[in-house]
Protein backbone atom coordinates (compact mmCIF):
# COMPACT_ATOMS: atom_id res chain seq x y z
CA UNK A 1 0.00 0.00 0.00
CA UNK A 2 1.26 3.50 -0.90
CA UNK A 3 1.40 6.46 1.45
CA UNK A 4 -2.19 7.29 2.49
CA UNK A 5 -3.75 10.76 2.20
CA UNK A 6 -7.27 11.39 3.46
CA UNK A 7 -9.02 14.62 2.45
CA UNK A 8 -12.08 15.88 4.34
CA UNK A 9 -14.20 18.07 2.07
CA UNK A 10 -14.53 17.70 -1.70
CA UNK A 11 -14.77 21.17 -3.17
CA UNK A 12 -12.36 24.03 -3.86
CA UNK A 13 -9.66 23.51 -1.24
CA UNK A 14 -9.99 19.73 -0.72
CA UNK A 15 -9.93 18.73 -4.36
CA UNK A 16 -7.14 21.19 -5.20
CA UNK A 17 -5.05 19.50 -2.50
CA UNK A 18 -5.96 15.97 -3.61
CA UNK A 19 -5.31 16.69 -7.31
CA UNK A 20 -1.95 18.36 -6.74
CA UNK A 21 -0.73 15.60 -4.40
CA UNK A 22 -1.81 12.95 -6.93
CA UNK A 23 0.06 14.71 -9.75
CA UNK A 24 3.25 14.89 -7.71
CA UNK A 25 2.95 11.42 -6.17
CA UNK A 26 0.90 9.24 -8.54
CA UNK A 27 1.35 6.21 -6.24
CA UNK A 28 -0.20 7.98 -3.29
CA UNK A 29 -3.35 6.33 -1.98
CA UNK A 30 -5.76 9.31 -1.78
CA UNK A 31 -9.35 9.21 -0.51
CA UNK A 32 -11.77 12.15 -0.41
CA UNK A 33 -14.82 12.21 1.87
CA UNK A 34 -17.58 14.73 1.20
CA UNK A 35 -20.66 15.11 3.38
CA UNK A 36 -22.94 16.64 0.75
CA UNK A 37 -24.10 15.03 -2.48
CA UNK A 38 -21.82 17.08 -4.73
CA UNK A 39 -18.10 17.55 -5.22
CA UNK A 40 -16.03 20.00 -7.24
CA UNK A 41 -18.78 22.57 -7.63
CA UNK A 42 -18.60 26.33 -8.00
CA UNK A 43 -20.51 27.71 -5.01
CA UNK A 44 -19.92 31.17 -6.50
CA UNK A 45 -22.36 30.30 -9.29
CA UNK A 46 -25.20 29.37 -6.93
CA UNK A 47 -27.05 32.74 -7.09
CA UNK A 48 -27.14 32.44 -10.91
CA UNK A 49 -28.47 28.89 -10.67
CA UNK A 50 -31.17 29.97 -8.20
CA UNK A 51 -32.24 32.82 -10.48
CA UNK A 52 -32.36 30.60 -13.56
CA UNK A 53 -29.43 31.92 -15.63
CA UNK A 54 -27.73 28.56 -15.05
CA UNK A 55 -30.32 25.89 -15.72
CA UNK A 56 -28.99 22.71 -14.14
CA UNK A 57 -27.25 22.18 -10.81
CA UNK A 58 -24.86 19.80 -12.59
CA UNK A 59 -23.66 22.73 -14.74
CA UNK A 60 -21.93 24.06 -11.59
CA UNK A 61 -19.93 20.85 -11.23
CA UNK A 62 -16.54 20.54 -12.94
CA UNK A 63 -15.56 16.96 -12.00
CA UNK A 64 -17.97 14.27 -10.86
CA UNK A 65 -17.31 11.34 -8.53
CA UNK A 66 -16.88 8.92 -11.41
CA UNK A 67 -14.23 11.05 -13.16
CA UNK A 68 -12.36 11.67 -9.94
CA UNK A 69 -12.46 8.03 -8.84
CA UNK A 70 -11.97 6.20 -12.10
CA UNK A 71 -10.11 8.62 -14.36
CA UNK A 72 -8.07 10.65 -11.87
CA UNK A 73 -7.40 7.76 -9.47
CA UNK A 74 -8.77 9.68 -6.45
CA UNK A 75 -11.51 7.56 -4.81
CA UNK A 76 -14.15 10.10 -3.79
CA UNK A 77 -17.16 9.41 -1.60
CA UNK A 78 -20.17 11.72 -1.35
CA UNK A 79 -22.66 11.50 1.55
CA UNK A 80 -19.73 10.48 3.75
CA UNK A 81 -19.13 12.57 6.85
CA UNK A 82 -15.92 12.45 8.86
CA UNK A 83 -17.03 12.56 12.49
CA UNK A 84 -13.73 12.32 14.37
CA UNK A 85 -9.97 12.62 13.95
CA UNK A 86 -7.77 10.46 16.18
CA UNK A 87 -4.31 12.02 15.95
CA UNK A 88 -2.59 9.33 18.04
CA UNK A 89 -3.92 6.39 16.01
CA UNK A 90 -3.82 8.49 12.79
CA UNK A 91 -7.34 7.49 11.85
CA UNK A 92 -10.56 9.27 10.95
CA UNK A 93 -14.05 7.97 11.78
CA UNK A 94 -16.38 8.12 8.78
CA UNK A 95 -20.17 7.79 8.63
CA UNK A 96 -21.87 6.74 5.40
CA UNK A 97 -24.91 9.00 5.54
CA UNK A 98 -26.91 6.79 3.14
CA UNK A 99 -26.52 3.53 5.06
CA UNK A 100 -25.64 4.81 8.56
CA UNK A 101 -22.58 2.51 8.49
CA UNK A 102 -19.54 3.78 10.38
CA UNK A 103 -15.94 2.81 9.78
CA UNK A 104 -12.39 3.95 10.44
CA UNK A 105 -9.82 4.93 7.87
CA UNK A 106 -6.09 5.31 8.55
CA UNK A 107 -3.97 8.11 7.17
CA UNK A 108 -0.34 9.12 6.90
CA UNK A 109 -1.31 12.65 5.90
CA UNK A 110 -4.65 14.34 6.43
CA UNK A 111 -6.14 17.46 4.79
CA UNK A 112 -8.94 19.30 6.56
CA UNK A 113 -10.86 21.30 3.95
CA UNK A 114 -14.22 21.48 5.67
CA UNK A 115 -15.00 25.05 4.58
CA UNK A 116 -17.35 27.27 6.50
CA UNK A 117 -20.89 27.17 7.87
CA UNK A 118 -23.47 29.93 7.32
CA UNK A 119 -24.39 31.78 10.50
CA UNK A 120 -28.05 31.50 11.50
CA UNK A 121 -29.05 33.55 14.55
CA UNK A 122 -31.07 31.92 17.31
CA UNK A 123 -34.24 33.91 16.76
CA UNK A 124 -37.81 32.56 16.82
CA UNK A 125 -38.68 30.83 13.55
CA UNK A 126 -35.11 30.63 12.28
CA UNK A 127 -35.47 26.88 11.58
CA UNK A 128 -38.95 27.07 10.03
CA UNK A 129 -39.70 25.73 6.57
CA UNK A 130 -38.98 28.34 3.93
CA UNK A 131 -35.93 29.68 5.77
CA UNK A 132 -32.74 29.06 3.79
CA UNK A 133 -29.00 29.58 3.57
CA UNK A 134 -26.99 29.43 0.35
CA UNK A 135 -23.80 27.43 0.65
CA UNK A 136 -24.13 24.01 -0.97
CA UNK A 137 -25.70 22.80 -4.20
CA UNK A 138 -28.49 21.26 -2.10
CA UNK A 139 -29.17 24.73 -0.63
CA UNK A 140 -29.36 26.09 -4.18
CA UNK A 141 -31.75 23.33 -5.27
CA UNK A 142 -34.01 24.03 -2.25
CA UNK A 143 -34.11 27.76 -2.98
CA UNK A 144 -34.69 27.26 -6.68
CA UNK A 145 -37.54 24.81 -6.09
CA UNK A 146 -39.16 27.39 -3.80
CA UNK A 147 -39.01 29.87 -6.72
CA UNK A 148 -40.41 27.22 -9.07
CA UNK A 149 -43.29 26.53 -6.64
CA UNK A 150 -44.36 30.15 -7.09
CA UNK A 151 -42.75 31.98 -4.16
CA UNK A 152 -43.20 35.65 -4.93
CA UNK A 153 -41.73 37.53 -1.97
CA UNK A 154 -38.27 37.03 -0.49
CA UNK A 155 -36.55 38.65 2.46
CA UNK A 156 -32.77 38.42 2.38
CA UNK A 157 -31.12 39.02 5.73
CA UNK A 158 -27.60 40.36 5.21
CA UNK A 159 -26.34 42.89 2.66
CA UNK A 160 -23.01 41.27 1.80
CA UNK A 161 -22.14 40.18 -1.72
CA UNK A 162 -23.88 36.78 -1.53
CA UNK A 163 -27.12 38.36 -0.29
CA UNK A 164 -27.04 41.08 -2.93
CA UNK A 165 -26.15 38.79 -5.83
CA UNK A 166 -29.07 36.58 -4.79
CA UNK A 167 -31.33 39.66 -4.46
CA UNK A 168 -30.50 40.55 -8.05
CA UNK A 169 -31.19 37.05 -9.31
CA UNK A 170 -34.49 36.61 -7.43
CA UNK A 171 -35.66 40.02 -8.67
CA UNK A 172 -34.86 38.99 -12.21
CA UNK A 173 -36.81 35.79 -11.60
CA UNK A 174 -39.84 38.03 -10.91
CA UNK A 175 -39.85 38.12 -7.10
CA UNK A 176 -40.37 41.08 -4.77
CA UNK A 177 -37.17 41.20 -2.71
CA UNK A 178 -36.33 43.00 0.53
CA UNK A 179 -32.79 43.16 1.93
CA UNK A 180 -32.42 43.66 5.69
CA UNK A 181 -28.98 44.81 6.85
CA UNK A 182 -27.82 45.46 10.42
CA UNK A 183 -25.26 48.13 9.50
CA UNK A 184 -26.08 51.62 8.23
CA UNK A 185 -24.85 50.61 4.75
CA UNK A 186 -24.41 47.63 2.39
CA UNK A 187 -21.13 45.91 1.39
CA UNK A 188 -18.76 47.06 4.16
CA UNK A 189 -15.69 46.54 1.95
CA UNK A 190 -16.73 49.64 -0.04
CA UNK A 191 -16.66 53.34 0.79
CA UNK A 192 -19.97 54.75 2.05
CA UNK A 193 -20.48 56.58 -1.24
CA UNK A 194 -20.03 53.43 -3.30
CA UNK A 195 -22.24 51.42 -0.95
CA UNK A 196 -24.93 54.08 -1.42
CA UNK A 197 -24.56 53.76 -5.21
CA UNK A 198 -25.07 49.99 -4.92
CA UNK A 199 -28.16 50.60 -2.76
CA UNK A 200 -29.46 53.01 -5.39
CA UNK A 201 -28.87 50.40 -8.10
CA UNK A 202 -30.86 47.83 -6.10
CA UNK A 203 -33.72 50.24 -5.42
CA UNK A 204 -33.80 51.30 -9.07
CA UNK A 205 -34.53 47.67 -9.92
CA UNK A 206 -37.27 47.36 -7.29
CA UNK A 207 -35.34 45.83 -4.37
CA UNK A 208 -36.37 47.26 -1.01
CA UNK A 209 -33.38 47.94 1.27
CA UNK A 210 -33.88 48.14 5.04
CA UNK A 211 -30.73 49.34 6.85
CA UNK A 212 -29.89 49.59 10.58
CA UNK A 213 -32.12 46.63 11.38
CA UNK A 214 -31.64 42.99 12.25
CA UNK A 215 -34.11 40.15 11.93
CA UNK A 216 -35.83 39.78 15.31
CA UNK A 217 -38.25 37.01 14.39
CA UNK A 218 -39.26 34.90 11.42
CA UNK A 219 -43.05 35.16 11.36
CA UNK A 220 -44.63 31.80 10.59
CA UNK A 221 -47.97 30.48 9.42
CA UNK A 222 -48.52 26.73 9.75
CA UNK A 223 -44.82 26.48 10.69
CA UNK A 224 -43.77 28.01 7.37
CA UNK A 225 -42.00 31.34 7.00
CA UNK A 226 -44.52 34.05 6.16
CA UNK A 227 -42.53 37.17 6.98
CA UNK A 228 -39.74 38.80 8.94
CA UNK A 229 -40.11 41.12 11.91
CA UNK A 230 -37.11 43.42 12.27
CA UNK A 231 -35.50 44.87 15.38
CA UNK A 232 -37.05 48.27 14.63
CA UNK A 233 -40.54 46.74 14.70
CA UNK A 234 -41.20 46.60 10.97
CA UNK A 235 -42.71 43.52 9.32
CA UNK A 236 -41.95 42.32 5.81
CA UNK A 237 -44.04 39.64 4.14
CA UNK A 238 -42.11 36.72 2.70
CA UNK A 239 -42.72 33.22 1.51
CA UNK A 240 -38.99 32.66 1.41
CA UNK A 241 -36.26 33.94 3.77
CA UNK A 242 -32.52 33.75 3.11
CA UNK A 243 -29.90 34.20 5.83
CA UNK A 244 -26.64 35.53 4.39
CA UNK A 245 -25.11 37.26 7.39
CA UNK A 246 -21.72 35.61 7.10
CA UNK A 247 -20.03 32.32 7.82
CA UNK A 248 -17.94 30.79 10.55
CA UNK A 249 -15.06 28.37 9.94
CA UNK A 250 -16.13 24.71 10.09
CA UNK A 251 -13.39 23.83 12.54
CA UNK A 252 -15.21 21.56 15.00
CA UNK A 253 -13.28 18.40 13.97
CA UNK A 254 -9.99 20.27 14.33
CA UNK A 255 -11.02 21.68 17.71
CA UNK A 256 -12.12 18.29 19.01
CA UNK A 257 -8.74 16.71 18.22
CA UNK A 258 -6.82 19.58 19.82
CA UNK A 259 -5.44 21.45 16.81
CA UNK A 260 -4.58 25.10 17.42
CA UNK A 261 -7.37 27.53 16.54
CA UNK A 262 -7.11 31.28 16.02
CA UNK A 263 -9.29 34.15 14.91
CA UNK A 264 -13.02 33.26 14.90
CA UNK A 265 -11.92 29.69 15.73
CA UNK A 266 -10.35 29.26 12.30
CA UNK A 267 -7.60 26.62 12.15
CA UNK A 268 -4.08 28.02 12.56
CA UNK A 269 -1.72 26.98 9.75
CA UNK A 270 1.81 27.96 8.79
CA UNK A 271 2.69 29.22 5.31
CA UNK A 272 2.97 25.60 4.12
CA UNK A 273 -0.70 25.09 5.17
CA UNK A 274 0.47 22.76 7.96
CA UNK A 275 -1.53 22.78 11.19
CA UNK A 276 -0.08 22.40 14.69
CA UNK A 277 0.16 18.65 13.86
CA UNK A 278 2.86 17.90 11.23
CA UNK A 279 0.73 15.20 9.60
CA UNK A 280 -2.33 17.39 9.20
CA UNK A 281 -2.79 20.18 6.66
CA UNK A 282 -5.76 22.53 6.43
CA UNK A 283 -6.87 24.94 3.72
CA UNK A 284 -9.73 27.10 2.51
CA UNK A 285 -12.57 28.68 4.45
CA UNK A 286 -11.77 26.70 7.63
CA UNK A 287 -8.35 28.34 8.19
CA UNK A 288 -6.97 31.63 9.41
CA UNK A 289 -4.76 33.54 6.99
CA UNK A 290 -2.31 36.40 7.06
CA UNK A 291 -3.14 39.87 5.71
CA UNK A 292 -0.48 40.95 3.23
CA UNK A 293 -0.60 44.63 4.25
CA UNK A 294 -0.77 44.42 8.04
CA UNK A 295 0.94 41.05 8.48
CA UNK A 296 -1.79 40.29 11.05
CA UNK A 297 -4.02 37.23 11.19
CA UNK A 298 -7.31 37.67 9.35
CA UNK A 299 -10.26 35.60 8.19
CA UNK A 300 -11.37 36.37 4.62
CA UNK A 301 -13.12 33.28 3.23
CA UNK A 302 -12.94 33.41 -0.57
CA UNK A 303 -12.83 30.86 -3.36
CA UNK A 304 -9.62 32.24 -4.86
CA UNK A 305 -7.79 31.66 -1.58
CA UNK A 306 -9.30 28.21 -1.00
CA UNK A 307 -8.12 26.95 -4.39
CA UNK A 308 -4.60 28.32 -3.95
CA UNK A 309 -4.19 27.10 -0.38
CA UNK A 310 -5.44 23.65 -1.42
CA UNK A 311 -2.86 23.50 -4.18
CA UNK A 312 -0.08 24.52 -1.77
CA UNK A 313 -1.16 21.86 0.76
CA UNK A 314 -1.17 19.24 -2.02
CA UNK A 315 2.23 20.39 -3.27
CA UNK A 316 3.78 20.04 0.17
CA UNK A 317 2.16 16.67 0.79
CA UNK A 318 3.55 15.64 -2.60
CA UNK A 319 7.10 16.47 -1.46
CA UNK A 320 7.32 20.11 -2.56
CA UNK A 321 7.97 23.26 -0.61
CA UNK A 322 5.12 25.60 -1.59
CA UNK A 323 4.17 28.59 0.51
CA UNK A 324 1.04 30.69 0.74
CA UNK A 325 2.05 34.22 1.63
CA UNK A 326 -1.32 35.76 2.50
CA UNK A 327 -4.33 37.65 1.21
CA UNK A 328 -5.50 41.13 0.34
CA UNK A 329 -9.15 40.06 0.36
CA UNK A 330 -9.50 41.15 -3.27
CA UNK A 331 -13.08 40.78 -4.40
CA UNK A 332 -15.53 41.88 -7.07
CA UNK A 333 -19.27 41.60 -7.46
CA UNK A 334 -21.92 42.63 -9.95
CA UNK A 335 -25.22 44.03 -8.77
CA UNK A 336 -27.52 44.55 -11.77
CA UNK A 337 -25.56 46.96 -14.02
CA UNK A 338 -23.00 48.09 -11.46
CA UNK A 339 -19.74 46.33 -10.62
CA UNK A 340 -18.01 46.86 -7.27
CA UNK A 341 -14.51 45.73 -6.33
CA UNK A 342 -12.00 46.14 -3.55
CA UNK A 343 -8.56 45.04 -2.46
CA UNK A 344 -6.40 45.61 0.60
CA UNK A 345 -7.47 47.78 3.52
CA UNK A 346 -10.40 50.15 3.82
CA UNK A 347 -9.55 53.57 5.28
CA UNK A 348 -10.98 52.55 8.68
CA UNK A 349 -8.98 49.32 8.70
CA UNK A 350 -5.81 51.23 7.76
CA UNK A 351 -6.33 53.72 10.60
CA UNK A 352 -6.99 50.84 13.01
CA UNK A 353 -3.76 49.20 11.81
CA UNK A 354 -1.85 52.33 12.86
CA UNK A 355 -1.27 54.02 9.49
CA UNK A 356 -1.61 57.76 8.98
CA UNK A 357 -4.17 56.81 6.35
CA UNK A 358 -6.02 58.98 3.91
CA UNK A 359 -8.30 58.17 1.00
CA UNK A 360 -8.46 59.88 -2.36
CA UNK A 361 -11.20 59.42 -4.95
CA UNK A 362 -11.66 60.10 -8.65
CA UNK A 363 -14.27 59.49 -11.36
CA UNK A 364 -13.07 58.85 -14.90
CA UNK A 365 -14.40 57.34 -18.10
CA UNK A 366 -13.23 53.77 -18.67
CA UNK A 367 -12.29 54.37 -22.33
CA UNK A 368 -11.81 57.30 -24.70
CA UNK A 369 -14.68 59.77 -24.27
CA UNK A 370 -15.55 59.72 -27.99
CA UNK A 371 -15.63 55.93 -28.23
CA UNK A 372 -19.18 54.51 -27.96
CA UNK A 373 -20.28 52.18 -25.19
CA UNK A 374 -18.08 53.29 -22.33
CA UNK A 375 -19.00 54.06 -18.76
CA UNK A 376 -17.53 55.54 -15.62
CA UNK A 377 -15.03 54.09 -13.17
CA UNK A 378 -14.99 55.54 -9.66
CA UNK A 379 -11.83 54.67 -7.79
CA UNK A 380 -10.73 55.34 -4.22
CA UNK A 381 -7.14 54.73 -3.17
CA UNK A 382 -6.18 54.34 0.48
CA UNK A 383 -2.61 55.39 1.18
CA UNK A 384 -0.22 56.15 3.99
CA UNK A 385 0.29 59.91 4.12
CA UNK A 386 3.89 59.60 5.34
CA UNK A 387 5.30 57.11 2.88
CA UNK A 388 2.77 57.28 0.05
CA UNK A 389 2.45 53.49 0.26
CA UNK A 390 -0.71 52.14 -1.35
CA UNK A 391 -2.73 50.23 1.29
CA UNK A 392 -6.05 49.53 -0.37
CA UNK A 393 -8.45 50.41 -3.14
CA UNK A 394 -12.17 50.32 -3.79
CA UNK A 395 -14.10 51.01 -6.95
CA UNK A 396 -17.43 50.86 -8.73
CA UNK A 397 -18.42 51.21 -12.34
CA UNK A 398 -18.45 49.09 -15.47
CA UNK A 399 -17.01 45.57 -15.58
CA UNK A 400 -13.61 47.12 -16.39
CA UNK A 401 -13.29 47.93 -12.69
CA UNK A 402 -12.29 44.28 -12.08
CA UNK A 403 -9.14 44.47 -14.23
CA UNK A 404 -8.17 47.79 -12.67
CA UNK A 405 -8.60 46.38 -9.18
CA UNK A 406 -6.30 43.52 -10.16
CA UNK A 407 -3.60 46.01 -11.18
CA UNK A 408 -3.98 47.78 -7.84
CA UNK A 409 -3.84 44.45 -5.96
CA UNK A 410 -0.59 43.74 -7.79
CA UNK A 411 0.77 47.15 -6.83
CA UNK A 412 -0.12 46.63 -3.15
CA UNK A 413 1.46 43.17 -3.17
CA UNK A 414 4.64 44.68 -4.60
CA UNK A 415 4.63 47.32 -1.84
CA UNK A 416 4.36 50.20 -4.32
CA UNK A 417 3.73 53.83 -3.41
CA UNK A 418 1.18 55.98 -5.23
CA UNK A 419 4.15 57.81 -6.76
CA UNK A 420 5.26 54.54 -8.35
CA UNK A 421 1.71 53.64 -9.42
CA UNK A 422 1.52 57.06 -11.08
CA UNK A 423 4.48 56.10 -13.27
CA UNK A 424 3.11 52.75 -14.46
CA UNK A 425 3.20 52.17 -18.20
CA UNK A 426 -0.41 51.09 -18.75
CA UNK A 427 -2.16 50.32 -22.04
CA UNK A 428 -4.18 52.78 -24.10
CA UNK A 429 -6.51 52.35 -27.04
CA UNK A 430 -9.82 54.27 -27.46
CA UNK A 431 -11.88 51.07 -27.30
CA UNK A 432 -10.48 49.83 -23.96
CA UNK A 433 -8.92 52.70 -21.98
CA UNK A 434 -8.36 56.44 -22.06
CA UNK A 435 -4.84 57.85 -22.56
CA UNK A 436 -4.60 58.38 -18.82
CA UNK A 437 -6.06 55.24 -17.32
CA UNK A 438 -8.35 55.78 -14.27
CA UNK A 439 -5.57 54.12 -12.21
CA UNK A 440 -3.08 56.82 -13.26
CA UNK A 441 -5.58 59.60 -12.60
CA UNK A 442 -6.33 58.10 -9.18
CA UNK A 443 -2.61 57.83 -8.34
CA UNK A 444 -1.78 61.37 -9.49
CA UNK A 445 -4.66 62.68 -7.39
CA UNK A 446 -3.63 60.58 -4.39
CA UNK A 447 0.00 61.68 -4.37
CA UNK A 448 -1.15 65.23 -3.52
CA UNK A 449 -1.94 63.84 -0.04
CA UNK A 450 1.57 62.55 0.58
CA UNK A 451 3.40 64.65 3.15
P1 LIG B 1 -16.39 24.71 0.94
O2 LIG B 1 -16.65 25.12 -0.47
O3 LIG B 1 -17.33 25.14 2.00
O4 LIG B 1 -16.25 23.14 0.94
C5 LIG B 1 -16.10 22.43 2.12
C6 LIG B 1 -16.76 21.08 1.92
O7 LIG B 1 -16.45 20.26 3.03
C8 LIG B 1 -18.27 21.18 1.83
O9 LIG B 1 -18.72 20.68 0.60
C10 LIG B 1 -18.76 20.37 3.02
O11 LIG B 1 -19.92 19.63 2.74
C12 LIG B 1 -17.58 19.45 3.30
N13 LIG B 1 -17.50 19.03 4.70
C14 LIG B 1 -17.55 19.82 5.80
N15 LIG B 1 -17.42 19.07 6.92
C16 LIG B 1 -17.27 17.79 6.50
C17 LIG B 1 -17.09 16.56 7.20
N18 LIG B 1 -17.03 16.51 8.53
N19 LIG B 1 -16.98 15.43 6.48
C20 LIG B 1 -17.04 15.48 5.09
N21 LIG B 1 -17.23 16.61 4.41
C22 LIG B 1 -17.33 17.75 5.10
N23 LIG B 1 -15.60 33.41 -3.46
C24 LIG B 1 -14.97 34.18 -4.38
O25 LIG B 1 -13.73 34.27 -4.34
N26 LIG B 1 -15.66 34.84 -5.36
C27 LIG B 1 -17.01 34.75 -5.46
O28 LIG B 1 -17.61 35.33 -6.37
C29 LIG B 1 -17.71 33.96 -4.51
N30 LIG B 1 -19.06 33.84 -4.58
C31 LIG B 1 -19.70 33.03 -3.67
C32 LIG B 1 -21.07 32.87 -3.77
C33 LIG B 1 -21.75 32.03 -2.89
C34 LIG B 1 -23.22 31.86 -2.99
C35 LIG B 1 -21.02 31.33 -1.90
C36 LIG B 1 -21.71 30.40 -0.94
C37 LIG B 1 -19.66 31.48 -1.79
C38 LIG B 1 -18.99 32.33 -2.67
N39 LIG B 1 -17.60 32.51 -2.59
C40 LIG B 1 -16.95 33.29 -3.51
C41 LIG B 1 -16.83 31.84 -1.54
C42 LIG B 1 -16.28 30.52 -2.03
O43 LIG B 1 -17.29 29.75 -2.58
C44 LIG B 1 -15.65 29.78 -0.85
O45 LIG B 1 -14.62 30.60 -0.33
C46 LIG B 1 -15.09 28.44 -1.25
O47 LIG B 1 -16.11 27.58 -1.68
C48 LIG B 1 -14.37 27.79 -0.07
O49 LIG B 1 -13.93 26.54 -0.45
P50 LIG B 1 -13.59 25.42 0.63
O51 LIG B 1 -13.20 24.21 -0.14
O52 LIG B 1 -12.68 25.96 1.64
O53 LIG B 1 -14.95 25.19 1.41
CATH of the domain at 349: 3.50.50.60
Element (H, E) at 241: strand 240-243
Please tell me the pTM assigned to this model.
0.97
Q: How high is the pLDDT of residue 80? A: 98
Query: Best substitution site from 35, 115, 242, 324 to test ligand 1's pocket, by max atoms within 8 Å of Cβ?
Result: 115
Interval 293-309 mean pLDDT:
97
Instruction: Assess whether 389 and 307 both reside in one domain.
Output: no
- Of 202, 230, 245, which residue is a domain's last? 245
Instruction: Assess whether 227 and 255 both reside in one domain.
Output: no
Instruction: Assess whether 94 and 151 both reside in one domain.
Output: no
- Centroid of ligand 1 to alpha carbon of 35 (angstroms): 12
Residue 1 has pLDDT above 80, yes or no: no
- Centroid of ligand 1 to alpha carbon of 431 (angstroms): 37
Q: How high is the pLDDT of residue 451? A: 85
pLDDT in tens, 315-364: 999 999 999 999 999 999 999 999 999 999 999 999 999 999 999 999 99
Instruction: Assess whether 265 and 277 both reside in one domain.
Output: yes
pLDDT in tens, 184-202: 999 999 999 999 999 999 9
- Determine the Cα–Cα distance for residues 182 and 161; give it in Å rounded to an integer: 14
pLDDT confidence tier of residue 42, bands split at 50, 70 and 90: confident
Angle at 76 between CA 132 and CA 50, to 5 degrees: 25
Q: Measuring CA to CA, which residue among 343, 418, 341, 424 is closest to residue 383?
A: 418
Q: Which residues are catalytic?
A: 44
Alpha carbons within 13 angstroms on the beta-carbon side of residue 25 total 19
pLDDT confidence tier of residue 212, bands split at 50, 70 and 90: very high
pLDDT confidence tier of residue 2, bands split at 50, 70 and 90: confident
Pocket of ligand 1 (CB under 6 A): 8-9, 11-14, 33-36, 43-44, 46-47, 81-82, 113-116, 134-135, 162, 250, 253, 284-285, 301-304, 306
Alpha helices by DSSP H, 90-191 = 137-148, 161-172
Count how many domains the chain has: 3
Interval 380-399 mean pLDDT:
98
* Full domain range(s) for residue 262: 4-37+78-116+248-317
Residue 203 has pLDDT above 80, yes or no: yes
- Strand partners of residue 227: 219, 237
Q: Is residue 47 part of a domain?
A: no
Amino acid sequence: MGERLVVIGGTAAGLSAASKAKRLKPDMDITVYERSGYVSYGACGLPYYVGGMIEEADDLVSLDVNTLTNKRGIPTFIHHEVTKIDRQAKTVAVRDLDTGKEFEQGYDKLVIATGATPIVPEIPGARAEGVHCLRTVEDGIALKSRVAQGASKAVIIGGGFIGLETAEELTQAGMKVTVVEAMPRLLPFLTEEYAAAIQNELEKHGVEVCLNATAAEILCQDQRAAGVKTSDGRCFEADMVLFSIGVRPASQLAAACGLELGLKDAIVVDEHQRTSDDSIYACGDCVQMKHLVTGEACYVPLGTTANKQGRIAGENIGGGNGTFKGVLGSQVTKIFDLYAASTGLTEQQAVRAGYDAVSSSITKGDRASYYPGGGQNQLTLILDRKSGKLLGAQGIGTETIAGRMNVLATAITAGMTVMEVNELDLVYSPSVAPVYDPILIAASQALKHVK
